[in-house]
Structure 1
Amino acid sequence: MPDPVDLVVPVKELRRAKSRLAPAVAGLPGDDADREHAHRALALALARDTLRAARAAGLAGRLVVVTAEPAERLAGAGAPWETVRDPGGGLNAAIRAGAAHLRRAGARRAVAALQADLPALRPDELDDALSRAAAAFADGAPAAFVADHAGTGTTLLVTAPGRSPRPRFGPGSAGAHALAGAVALDGDWPGLRGDVDTVDDLARARALGVGPETDAWCGRVTAPAAVGAPCGPR
């Protein structure tokens, strides 16, 4: 069995997170403050479900959450984990901060950066991907990644033991990680590939089966006909 892999999960400040999901709450009743609260609650639900699944993976070692949010806000998602203050500077800087925290504590294992918007993630998917990454490292690969459902983004970047992560998250990150020498991992992992950036993504994830936090959020939302059903069918 492969060695455990330490995980770094960056969780963006909720008030700035998931701007492309604004249509999911645009037609909800109430005022702008109510809709802003619903938007933040959705971003929080996505993160909590991701963390819960990651913590349950058999190959998950230490779990480091990099965020500007109060740690207690993420409670109830399979804690304990370690929290590092987001230094600012974007997603890649947050991942590097998490990896640096692990190094300062003497960690020498592989480090995986996992996106925090994977509400349909299954622990066995993550375990399988981490196992395949270990096999790639045995063949000399410095890093490995999982592309998102569109094939252009990245949901998981795993860096081999003894190496510093070189994250290139952002538009076209799958191609950027490949150009940097990371090996693309291939597997049937719809939940692991199912990052949620848009209303369509949310509906796709719900069809796969989301975690309890996202499912509860969807259960509370009744969208007007003009907006449609942001969560899609169960």
Structure 2
Amino acid sequence: MSTQERPVAPAGSIGWSLVVPVKPAAVGKSRLAPFAGGHRTELAQAMAIDTITAALACPRVVELLAITPDQEFAAVLAGVGAVAVTDEPAAGLNAALQHGARLARSRRPDGAVAAMLADLPALRPNELTTALDAATAWPTSFVPDAAGVGTTLYCTAPGVDFAPRFGGPSRRAHLDAGAVELTPVPITSVRRDVDTGADLHQARDLGVGPRTRAALAAMARRGDPVAETGTS
């Protein structure tokens, strides 16, 4: 999606810079390996592209920074409209997100900043809009994952310290840090992250994006049982 094709944030709404971390293909979505086998890399990249493409179609997102050390895939993400950031620090996920947030605020000092995972292949732009609109009421807020253990989206208002706590039981970590949980709003696709074959089946029931759908179809043609049944 080119800059000219990007949706425009409605007058009076808050524009968001969205930071999305994308692991290198060699290590991304390792928990899918028992289900996707040799197709794991292809599937992980397809999910990331669908996630980022859907996020860029959200009218509240004025800029998306994809944080990845994978130079080749960074070019692919730039091709769909992301700002590819390849100088990722080596200190882990949260450090990478903070690096992206600093860059976002250097580009848009008065903008709101959010971090979102790249494994939401069923993401709906309208549901991301709902989540970001709900987030405007709070200094910091977050969306828990479908299991209610982790986090898929972390949001900070303009000028508020950006201190994500992704990893492990991050829902509890974000609550303990004072962030507001945005669960009352109907945002199923924002919560449906994919780590396992069962997760993938549920995402497919919601309706995955075209890249993920094509990857699953290719896996089914090769006789992959997960692509055919969606179960583990």
Matched-pair contact (CA < 8 Å) for 2:60–2:129 = yes
SS in 2 for 1:85: coil
Q: How far is 1:100 from its partner?
A: 1.1
Matched-pair contact (CA < 8 Å) for 2:66–2:77 = no
What is the root-mean-square deviation of aligned Cα atoms in Å?
Answer: 1.8
The AA in structure 2 aligned to 1:200 is: A
SS in 1 for 2:34: helix
1:164 corresponds to which of 161, 166, 174: 161
Could you tell me which residue of structure 1 aligns to residue 9 of structure 2? none
Same amino acid, percent of matched pairs: 44
Could you tell me which residue of structure 2 aligns to residue 59 of structure 1? 60
Matched-pair contact (CA < 8 Å) for 1:206–1:232 = no
Could you tell me which residue of structure 1 aligns to residue 194 of structure 2? 196
Give the number of equivalent residue pairs. Answer: 216
Matched-pair contact (CA < 8 Å) for 2:20–2:97 = yes
C-alpha distance 106-192 of structure 1, shift in aligned 2 (>3 A):
closer
Unaligned runs of 5+ in 2: 1-11
Q: How far is 1:230 from its partner?
A: 3.9
1:4-153 paired onto structure 2 within 5 Å: 4-26=15-37, 35=38, 38-70=39-71, 71-76=74-79, 78-135=80-137, 137=138, 142-153=139-150
TM-score by length of 1: 0.86
2: CA distance, partners of 1:81 / 1:224: 34
C-alpha distance 80-180 of structure 1, shift in aligned 2 (>3 A):
closer
Matched-pair contact (CA < 8 Å) for 1:84–1:98 = no
Alpha-carbon displacement from aligned partner over 1:48-105 (angstroms, at most 9, x marks no partner): 00000000001001111110112223355x3143434221222111100101112233
TM-score by length of 2: 0.87
1:215 corresponds to which of 213, 216, 228: 213
Could you tell me which residue of structure 2 aligns to residue 32 of structure 1? none
Matched-pair contact (CA < 8 Å) for 2:94–2:165 = yes
C-alpha distance 19-51 of structure 1, shift in aligned 2 (>3 A):
same
SS in 1 for 2:200: helix
Q: How far is 1:106 from its partner?
A: 4.4
C-alpha distance 224-64 of structure 1, shift in aligned 2 (>3 A):
closer
Q: How far is 1:143 from its partner?
A: 0.3
Matched-pair contact (CA < 8 Å) for 2:47–2:121 = yes
Matched-pair contact (CA < 8 Å) for 2:105–2:111 = no
Matched-pair contact (CA < 8 Å) for 1:87–1:93 = yes
SS in 2 for 1:155: strand
The AA in structure 2 aligned to 1:62 is: E
Q: How far is 1:224 from its partner?
A: 8.3
2: CA distance, partners of 1:79 / 1:154: 24
Q: How far is 1:39 from its partner?
A: 1.4
1:179 is aligned to 2:190: no
C-alpha distance 231-55 of structure 1, shift in aligned 2 (>3 A):
farther
Matched-pair contact (CA < 8 Å) for 2:65–2:82 = no
SS in 1 for 2:152: strand
Matched-pair contact (CA < 8 Å) for 1:64–1:84 = no
2: CA distance, partners of 1:212 / 1:228: 20
